[in-house]
Amino acid sequence: MRKVLWEQHFPHALPPWNERSATRAGPIRENRVVTDYLRDLFSLDGRVAVVTGGSSGIGRAIARALAGAGARVVLVARGADALAETAGRLRAAGSEAAWVTADLGDRASLEDGARQAAAQFGEPDILVNCAGINLRPPMSALTVAEWDQTIAVNLTAPFLLGQRFGPPMAERGWGRIINVASQQAVRAFGNSGGYGASKGGLASLTRSQSEAWAPRGVRVNAISPGFVITPLTREAASDPARSAALAARTMIGRNGEAGDFEGIAVFLASRASDYVTGQLIFVDGGFSAT
Ligand SMILES: NC(=O)c1ccc[n+]([C@@H]2O[C@H](COP(=O)([O-])OP(=O)(O)OC[C@H]3O[C@@H](n4cnc5c(N)ncnc54)[C@H](OP(=O)(O)O)[C@@H]3O)[C@@H](O)[C@H]2O)c1
């Protein structure tokens, strides 16, 4: 009965699971239909992406993914050595990559960085706001200077870069903005302090940017990572008991790795996500669902 219904409703559907499994068990063969279909759906050929924080951790993995899907990528951060090293690796893999130094916590430097970023391969079609800092003093010890710095890098910079690149995307009728938030956008966690507030603001900014530009082809979404082992979390990750306790809070049973963000980045940057906007998408091994 189920088979009849399936064939009635999906006459061109893929073969049933047992046949596909048999194919999988055999030698890998090129399937032109699948390859062309996936390329059309996910390709970033001809697109230009600016990735802040693209020299390290999650941003670096996102830059690699976007470049691998065909985008020309401009990396933005403060440290020239890590930027040059990352761009060099992307170029060695056959991609087009450039880098620009900017302190996104400083408005003049941000403006100059944005101008330089657009000068590399032209105006970006894709903006990834991934640069971030997490200062972790307990709330009662958090200084105004730490608060200001956190808000400047984690929230004001994505706002300013959105103001710079969002309207031209809307004018051209196509664009993607991906903001990297945190589960601390929706829950207090480990001295969330100013960091949680900045990420809560970023999730809200994502909805506002989407509301403003989605009608003209720009999709704006945020990614919420769980606990991901990167230089940002080096201290917490170096404590095996703490690291294991965090892994145990996920459904998958391990902490995140930078490479876990490649798939979501290509999805959100590509045509595949045409009807997805204004969302905060959790990529956390199920942490937030427990
Ligand atoms: N790792 C996690 O568990 C986790 C969880 C939730 C959310 N996140 C978010 O994910 C994003 C990436 O984090 P990550 O773990 O990949 O951290 P990371 O490895 O420390 O990378 C941070 C990146 O941001 C850049 N950056 C920092 N301050 C900057 C500034 N003032 N101006 C320009 N660039 C700056 C850094 O380069 P320079 O230092 O050279 O400038 C680096 O490229 C952040 O927004 C973070 O809040 C991470």
- Residues 171-181 have pLDDT tens digits of 999 999 999 99
In SS3 terms, 264-283 reads as: HHHHHHCHHHCCCCCCEEEE
Total residue count of the chain as it appears in this document: 290
Ligand 1 pocket test, candidate residues 230, 254, 264, most atoms within 8 A of CB: 230
**Burial zone of 89 (CB within 10 Å; 0-12 exposed, 13-18 middle, 19+ buried):** middle
Evaluate if residue 39 carries a pLDDT over 50. Answer: yes
**pLDDT digits over 76-131, tens only?**
999 999 999 999 999 999 999 999 999 999 999 999 999 999 999 999 999 999 99
Answer whether 224 contacts ligand 1 (Cβ < 6 A). no
Tell me the average pLDDT of the chain: 91
Contacts 24+ apart (CB under 8 A), 202-206: 202/129, 202/154, 202/155, 202/158, 203/179, 203/280, 205/155, 205/158, 205/159, 205/162, 205/179, 206/177, 206/179, 206/181, 206/278, 206/279, 206/280
Per the residue annotation, which of 99, 159, 195, 261 is the catalytic one?
195
CB of 231 closer than 8 Å to CB of 60: no
Give the distance (Å) from ligand 1 centre to CA of residue 10.
45
Domains present along the chain, CATH in parentheses: 1-42 (no CATH), 46-289 (3.40.50.720)
Does the structure show a pLDDT above 70 at 285? Answer: yes
Indicate the angle between helix axes 57-68 and 262-269, nearest 10 degrees: 50
Mutate to test the pocket of ligand 1, among 56, 99, 229, 233 (most ligand atoms within 8 A of CB): 56
Ligand 1 center to residue 132 CA distance, Å? Answer: 4
DSSP secondary structure code for residue 228 in this structure: B
Q: pLDDT class for 28, splitting at 50, 70, 90?
A: low
Q: Which atom of ligand 1 is nearest to the CA of 82?
A: 40
Distance 251 CA to ligand 1 centre (A): 25
Mutate to test the pocket of ligand 1, among 78, 189, 232 (most ligand atoms within 8 A of CB): 232
What number is the average pLDDT over the span 181-190?
94
What is the four-CA torsion angle of 168, 211, 193, 225, rounded to 10 degrees? -80
Q: Is 278 left (phi over 0), alpha (psi -120 to 50) or beta?
A: left
Confidence grade of residue 25 (pLDDT, cut at 50, 70, 90) = low
| Rounded average pLDDT over 269-274 | 98
Tell me if 231 CB under 6 Å of ligand 1: yes
Q: What is the pLDDT of residues 116-174, one digit of tens each?
A: 999 999 999 999 999 999 999 999 999 999 999 999 999 999 999 999 999 999 999 99
Ligand 1 within 6 A of 56 CB? yes
Instruction: Report the atom number in ligand 1 closest to the C-alpha of 233.
Output: 1
Mean predicted confidence (pLDDT) in 254-278: 98
Separation between Cα atoms, residue 151 and residue 200, nearest integer Å: 11
d(CA 102, CA 48): 19
DSSP line for 141-170: G--HHHHHHHHIIIIIHHHHHHHHHHHHHH
What residues have CB less than 8 Å from 159, skipping those under 6 apart? Answer: 205
Q: Is 195 a catalytic residue?
A: yes
DSSP 192-226: -HHHHHHHHHHHHHHHHHHHHHGGGTEEEEEEEE-
Flag whether pLDDT at 8 surpasses 60.
no
User: For residue 261, which amino acid is it?
Assistant: F
Cα distance between residue 21 and residue 19, in whole Å: 5
- pLDDT of amino acid 6: 29
Q: What is the pLDDT of residue 189?
A: 86
**pLDDT surpasses 50 at 11:** no
